């Protein structure tokens, strides 16, 4: 019961501060992309601080964090892995659902950070739009983050990896850095309860460009799922879906 109350208080104050920090940085972010990036990293670090003492979630980033132009293919379990990946990378921009652009505060900052919106359910058009937007965005180099399963996935659930990551890998001809995580064990994709423990995001060795698409996707899925399973086991996951 105490953890549930703490979780509710943590979530309420988090969204209040999202509004406060977002509005405070708005003038800077409106004219400078650096302002938008600083705002989002400031908010994320605030969340990391409060989740530690309010609900007992510690966080850790492992592996070699890339700094150049690379494709990041990440496991996605909750809002927490977005914040951890974004804060770790120098210039992250995400491929995301187009609907997010209309979300207060988040939508404005997503636009300022050159995130790439796609329409879900229209696979062919979405992939073409992804490639076109990414190529156009080369004037502002950074790390393009895609969630290969296309959605948040609960610990223990099996969701296939979508072809969009393979298309981007071929078109961009860049290294792809897989990312594993266990954050869903502590910060689930649904529900209000936050569980204490060590949330980890781990950058894995890069996959060099030039592989055949299906072989690439098979290798990507294997390394990300195996390492995520190990991290979830480390975090005490018992095999029951959140």
Judged by DSSP in three states, 71 sits in strand
Note whether residue 75 is domain-resident.
Answer: yes
Note whether residue 242 is domain-resident.
Answer: no
Q: What is the pLDDT, as a whole number, of residue 98?
A: 79
pLDDT digits (tens, 9 = 90+) for 143-202: 999 999 988 999 989 999 998 899 889 988 899 999 999 999 999 988 899 999 999 999
Note whether residue 229 is domain-resident.
Answer: yes
134-137 long-range contacts (CB < 8 A, ≥24 apart) are 134/168, 134/171, 134/172, 135/171, 137/93
Note whether residue 126 is domain-resident.
Answer: yes
Note whether residue 206 is domain-resident.
Answer: yes
The CATH number for 184's domain is: 3.40.1130.10
Contact predicate 124/116, CB 8 Å:
no
Note whether residue 240 is domain-resident.
Answer: no
Note whether residue 23 is domain-resident.
Answer: no
Q: What is the pLDDT, as a whole number, of residue 136?
A: 66
Note whether residue 205 is domain-resident.
Answer: yes
Give residue 190's domain range. Answer: 57-234
| Tokens, residue 54 | 């309010």
- Which residues does the chain have with pLDDT short of 50? 138-139
Alpha-carbon span 65 to 85, nearest angstrom: 9
C-alpha to C-alpha distances, 95 to 26, 225, 240, nearest whole angstrom: 22, 20, 29
Judged by DSSP in three states, 77 sits in coil
Total domains, the chain:
1
């Amino acid at each position: 019961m105490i953890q549930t109350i703490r979780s509710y208080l943590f979530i309420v104050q988090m969204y209040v501060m999202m509004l406060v920090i977002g509005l405070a940085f708005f003038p800077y972010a409106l004219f400078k992309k650096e302002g938008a990036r600083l705002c989002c990293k400031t908010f994320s670090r605030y969340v990391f601080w409060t989740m530690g003492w309010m609900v007992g979630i510690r966080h850790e980033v492992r592996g070699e964090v890339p700094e150049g132009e690379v494709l990041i293919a990440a496991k996605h379990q909750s809002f927490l892995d977005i914040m951890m990946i974004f804060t770790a990378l120098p210039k992250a921009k995400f491929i995301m659902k187009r609907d997010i652009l209309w979300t207060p505060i988040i939508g404005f900052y997503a636009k300022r950070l050159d995130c790439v919106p796609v329409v879900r359910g229209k696979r062919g058009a979405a992939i073409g739009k992804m490639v076109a937007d990414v190529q156009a965005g080369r004037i502002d180099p950074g790390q393009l983050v895609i969630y290969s399963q296309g959605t948040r996935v609960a610990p223990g659930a099996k969701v296939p990896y979508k072809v969009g990551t393979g298309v981007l890998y071929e078109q961009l001809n860049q290294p792809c850095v897989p990312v594993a995580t266990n954050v869903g064990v502590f910060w689930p994709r649904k529900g209000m309860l936050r569980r204490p423990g060590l949330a980890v995001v781990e950058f894995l060795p890069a996959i060099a460009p030039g592989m055949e698409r299906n072989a690439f996707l098979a290798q990507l899925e294997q390394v990300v799922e195996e390492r995520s399973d190990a991290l979830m086991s480390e975090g005490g996951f018992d095999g029951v879906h959140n």
